[in-house]
Amino acid sequence: MTRYTRRAAFVAALTALAAALGGCGAISDQALRTSLHALAVRVSSTTATTTSGAPPRCDPTASLKPSSPPAAPGHMPAGSFMRAIQRRGYLIAGVNESYLLFSFFDPSSGKIEGFEIDLLHQIAKAIFGTWHNKIEFEEVTVPQRLPFVQQGKVDIVADAVTMTCARWRNVDFSSTYYDGGVRVMVPASSNARQLSDLAHQRVCATTGSVPLEMIARSPYKLIPYGVPQGIYCLVALEQGKVAGIVSDDSLLIGSAMQVHNVKILPFSVADAPYGMAISKNHPGFVRFVNAVLERTRRDGTWASIYHRWLGPYSSGPTPPPPKPHYS
């Protein structure tokens, strides 16, 4: 063996040793990579959305003439939608559970209560003779509520829906049951006196609602901030994410009950007539509901329901019921 082959053999032996050492107890990052990759899963969250296109012109409060008088309870006309509801045994109503004073879930009684709920009770009573256990409440969100009516998932929606001409294209509305106004809520410390003082700031409203569209269209360059439920606006306001909330006064009154350090600016940005949304397939039901509403207006039921829920929070005496318009 020459010196060179010996040296080569030595180097080879060292290399083999290193390879053997490297091979045993080899480390792989596979589990680490798999686990970190799995943890990186992310889903994009929802953000503010607005709609576009000019709304058609019409009288949004004009509903169908009432059937007068409504059929006797428990004896709905054959073939009518009311008869189908009577046969089913209960009315399916889409409502919101967190709309203080109008429709909200009271954890102490375990029931949904409020101004709108009492009006729905009147409709159920007109169909069945009693409203006890005759309504199945479906919680709906603002983006869901009109599609649910169109798809027949609910018979009627009473959820502070402002009647607009754009919405009339998709659903029918009852006559006005509440004359609301769109108003602005800001922190008590805010210097804002009018909507233009909020220029270039984020202003919150419910996604898919009229106020959000107003924010987006306003000439004051407000930045729309959409949330899935109106009540989230309050949290956003308190977190300082938005400078103000534009919403119906009915919702703002309920909101002001729950938080301090806020104020409602003393003017309406727009009218907000509320109607109950009903499918375009059931004009007979619209007329029936209008007849029931007409009765509540005339016999003082509307006033007592208003007094029960909104009386303590409205300034001045109970207003007269909203005047119905029929086309």
Identify residue 192 by its one-letter amino acid code: A
5 binds another protein (CB under 8 A): no
Between the alpha carbon of residue 228 and those of residues 47, 245, 254, the distances in Å are 10, 14, 18
Site for another protein in 182-201 (CB under 8 A): none
Asked if 189 contacts 58 with a C-beta cutoff of 8 angstroms, the reply is no
**Smallest separation (angstroms) from another protein to the CB of 187:** 16
Cβ proximity to another protein, 248 vs 294, nearer residue: 248
Query: Do 100 and 312 form a contact (C-beta atoms < 8 A)?
Result: no
147-153: Cβ within 8 A, 24+ apart: 148/94, 149/94, 149/277, 149/278, 149/279, 150/279, 150/280, 152/279, 152/281, 153/92, 153/94
Contact between 140 and another protein by CB under 8 A: the answer reads yes
Candidate segments 9-17, 74-82, 159-167, 273-281, binder of another protein by CB under 8 A: 9-17
31 forms part of the interface with another protein (CB under 8 A): yes
| Token pair 């233009």 in the structure block, residue | 196
Choice from 63, 67, 144, 290 touching another protein (CB under 8 A)? 144
E strand or H helix at 146: helix 142-150
Shortest CB 165 distance to another protein, Å: 26
Q: Which of 97, 179, 197, 271 binds another protein (CB under 8 A)?
A: 97
Which of 1, 3, 4, 45 lies at the binding interface for another protein (CB under 8 A)? 45
The 3-state DSSP class for residue 130 equals coil
Q: Does 34 bind another protein (CB under 8 A)?
A: yes
169-177, 196-204, 232-240, 283-291 -> range binding another protein (CB under 8 A)? 232-240
Please state, in angstroms and rounded to a whole number, the distance separating the CA atoms of residues 320 and 82: 29
Binding mask 247-286 for another protein (x = CB under 8 A): --------x-xxx---------------------------
Q: Which one, of 181, 201, 187, 266, lies nearest residue 234 by Cα?
A: 187
Q: How far is the CB of 316 from another protein (least distance, A)?
A: 26
**The one among 105, 166, 187, 201 contacting another protein by CB under 8 A:** 105
Binding mask 10-29 toward another protein (x if CB under 8 A, else -) reads x---x--xx--xx-xxxxxx
Q: Does 106 bind another protein (CB under 8 A)?
A: yes
| Residue number with CB closer to another protein (190 or 255) | 255
The CA-to-CA distance between both ends of the chain, in Å, stands at: 116
Report if residue 130 touches another protein, rule: CB under 8 A: no
Helix (H, G, I), strand (E, B) or coil at 229: coil
Does residue 165 bind another protein (CB under 8 A)? no
Q: Tell me the helix, strand and coil percentages in the chain, rounded to 5.
A: 40, 20, 45
User: Strand 156-157 relative to strand 277-278: parallel, antiparallel, unpaired?
Assistant: antiparallel
Residue 61 CA to residue 165 CA, distance in Å, equals: 9
Report the interface residues with another protein, using CB under 8 A: 10, 14, 17-18, 21-22, 24-32, 34-36, 38-39, 41-43, 45-46, 94, 97-100, 104-108, 138-141, 143-144, 148, 153-154, 227-229, 231-232, 234-236, 238-239, 255, 257-259
